[in-house]
Amino acid sequence: MTRKLTAEFFGTFWLVFGGCGSAIFAAAFPDLGIGFAGVAFAFGLTVLTMAYAVGGISGGHFNPAVSLGLAVGGRMPWKELPPYWVAQVLGAIAAGAALYAIASGAPGFEPGGFASNGYGDLSPGGYTLGAALLIEVILTAGFLIVILGSTSRLAPVGFAPIAIGLALTLIHLISIPVTNTSVNPARSTGVALFASTGALGQLWLFWVAPLIGGAIGAVIWRHLIAPAGKAD
């Protein structure tokens, strides 16, 4: 179990450090900024690379909503859910702290939103709480369907990390303007702690919506999509 938790810690660290780091350091860089598309691609790459690196050890969740969905889908023992969540959140916070330590080395540094998620005034496009809730639920549910489908016995072997990484890229391309994209409570927590906006006050939504979406996606896959007896 220790190796699994270490893998989840480091995988989540990599996701937050790479994905949020691309937004903090590179997205708005004058003339050379990578923009929304670059950040979306960075998040997809973090999951793809770590899924290949440590997915064989822990399953490569790196996300409390994914772990919940896999438990609902019968792919993970429920007793492993709490320690997985702890490892994921600690990995995300460690990444947030590392990003803050690096970013604060720039002249005139102000954390601002610090790649955190939000709705209303903290949404990149000013979207409402209801819009943020809906998109996070829908996209997390879709993400779980991709994960469960691409890792099932019916799927081609060895390609799941590619499908999952591209799915996360697509998710970010859709929702960065709405919520700055969470679909991952650990990712949201890791940077909200260091933001100078009201991100912490809105963090509850980015736990509730992804967890609901993850559970819904698992139920849809297991009971409505997967052939009977072949959901695993």
Q: Nearest CA to 160 among 61, 28, 24, 22?
A: 61
Q: pTM above the 0.85 mark? A: yes
**Helix (H, G, I), strand (E, B), or coil: what is residue 181?**
coil
CA atoms within 13 A on the CB side of 144: 36
Q: Which residue has the tokens 């290949």?
A: 52
Residues 6+ apart with CB under 8 A from 207: 64, 185, 188, 189
Compute the distance between CA of residue 201 and CA of residue 155 in angstroms, rounded to an integer. Answer: 41
Instruction: Please state, as a whole number, how many other Cβ atoms lie within 10 Å of the Cβ of residue 53.
Output: 15
Q: CA torsion sign, 87 to 89 to 92 to 97?
A: negative
Of 182, 179, 143, 138, the closest CA to residue 163 belongs to 143
- Which residue type occupies 216? I
pLDDT (tens, 9 = 90+) of the chain, 232 residues, equals 999 999 999 999 999 999 999 999 988 676 667 889 999 999 999 999 999 999 999 999 999 999 999 999 999 999 999 999 999 999 999 999 999 999 999 998 999 999 999 999 999 999 999 999 999 999 999 999 999 999 998 888 889 999 999 999 999 999 999 999 999 999 999 999 999 999 999 999 999 999 999 999 999 999 999 876 666 7
Q: What CATH number is given for 2-225 in this structure?
A: 1.20.1080.10
- Host H or E run for residue 144: helix 129-150
H-helix or E-strand containing 7? Answer: helix 2-21
Domains of the chain, residue spans: 2-225
Angstrom distance (rounded) from CA 30 to CA 18: 20
pLDDT of residue 72: 97
Give the integer Cα–Cα distance in Å for 52 and 37.
Answer: 23
The pLDDT value recorded for residue 154 is 84
Cα–Cα distances in angstroms (integers) from residue 96 to residues 14, 69, 86, 104, 181, in the given order: 10, 25, 15, 12, 16
Distance CA 226, CA 86 (A): 30
